[in-house]
């Protein structure tokens, strides 16, 4: 085995090289990354190397051999697959690692994100739904010093930026959202999809699932006439049809 291949071969299903492939397959079946769309990057917590899914690969068929591995300090590729080019998302993933201290980033072409970006303006908002409690608030518990989640009565706000011809052109708007929404763990790209990050891949996956659930629910609420950030008890005033 070459020294490059040591980086991607492991019997541990939780090794970044294996986990990226498992999750890409799972996300493909969620309709989140069909047609080679979307991608995942994980920082190995032991080596600080970045593992990156390549461009143009069928996400449900990806294997560890298809991955790029990058040194977090030098940003040089320690390993490149023979067949594929780096993903155009790579600069965006690096920005999340460097500015948000991310441990992993998930990018999907979820239709729920695209539809929300068509219906909402510059910000996706949903409030008073239990599933919001899966999303971090950005605050720290003063006693335990642990990160606190949003509460049921909070409003989740996710910024929406405009899409560009090339993904690397999104970088300025991404940095702007880091300033304007310092606590967000996600950015929706209009007519494109969503980027979600977290301190670990487990957290990023949970945040992404919870946000997709909430975007799906928001679309259903909107279609029935209920604003997704509607106050509790005000729902029936907004219903297009009378409550049964």
Residues annotated within the binding site for substrate are 89
What gap in Å lies between CA 107 and CA 189, rounded to an integer? 10
243 is a contact residue toward a second copy (CB under 8 A): yes
222 is a contact residue toward a second copy (CB under 8 A): yes
Residue 64 or residue 193: which is nearer to a second copy going by CB? Answer: 193
- Nearest CA to 189 out of 206, 171, 207, 205 is that of 171
37 is a contact residue toward a second copy (CB under 8 A): yes
Supply the DSSP string of 4-73, one letter for each residue.
HHHTT--S-TTSHHHHHHHHHHHHHHTTSSGGG--EEEEE-TTT-PEEE-BSS--GGG--GGG-EEE-TT
Structure tokens at 171: 């970088």
φ, ψ (nearest 5 deg) of residue 220: -65, -40
Which is catalytic among the residues 123, 130, 209, 216? 130
Question: Is 130 one of the annotated active-site residues of the chain?
Answer: yes
125 is a contact residue toward a second copy (CB under 8 A): yes
162 is a contact residue toward a second copy (CB under 8 A): yes
Of the candidates 141, 152, 231, 237, which one interacts with a second copy according to CB under 8 A?
Answer: 152
Catalytic residue numbers? 130
Residues that bind a second copy (CB under 8 A): 31, 34-37, 58, 109, 111, 114-115, 118-121, 125, 128-131, 134, 151-153, 162-165, 189-193, 202, 205-207, 209-210, 212-213, 216-218, 220-229, 232, 235-236, 239-241, 243-244
């Amino acid at each position: 085995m070459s020294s490059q291949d040591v980086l991607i071969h492991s019997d541990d299903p939780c090794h970044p090289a294996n986990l990226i492939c498992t999750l890409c397959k799972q996300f493909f079946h969620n309709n989140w990354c069909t047609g080679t769309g979307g991608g995942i990057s994980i920082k190995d917590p032991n080596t600080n190397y970045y593992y990156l899914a390549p461009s143009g690969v069928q996400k449900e068929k990806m294997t560890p051999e298809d991955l790029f591995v990058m040194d977090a300090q030098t940003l040089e590729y320690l390993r490149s697959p023979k067949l594929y080019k780096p993903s155009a998302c790579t600069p965006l993933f690096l920005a999340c690692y460097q500015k948000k201290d991310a441990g992993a980033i998930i990018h999907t072409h979820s239709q729920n994100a695209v539809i929300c970006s068509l219906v909402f303006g510059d910000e996706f908002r949903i409030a008073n739904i239990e599933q919001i409690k899966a999303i971090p608030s950005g605050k720290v518990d003063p006693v335990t010093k642990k990160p606190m989640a949003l509460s049921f009565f909070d409003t989740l706000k996710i910024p929406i930026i405009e899409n560009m011809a090339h993904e690397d052109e999104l970088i300025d708007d991404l940095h702007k959202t880091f300033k304007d929404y310092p606590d967000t763990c996600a950015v929706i790209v209009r007519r494109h999809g969503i980027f979600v990050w977290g301190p670990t891949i487990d957290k990023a996956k949970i945040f992404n699932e919870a946000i997709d659930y909430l975007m799906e629910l928001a679309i259903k609420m909107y279609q029935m006439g209920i604003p997704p950030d509607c106050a509790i008890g005000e729902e029936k005033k907004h219903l297009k049809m009378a409550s049964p």
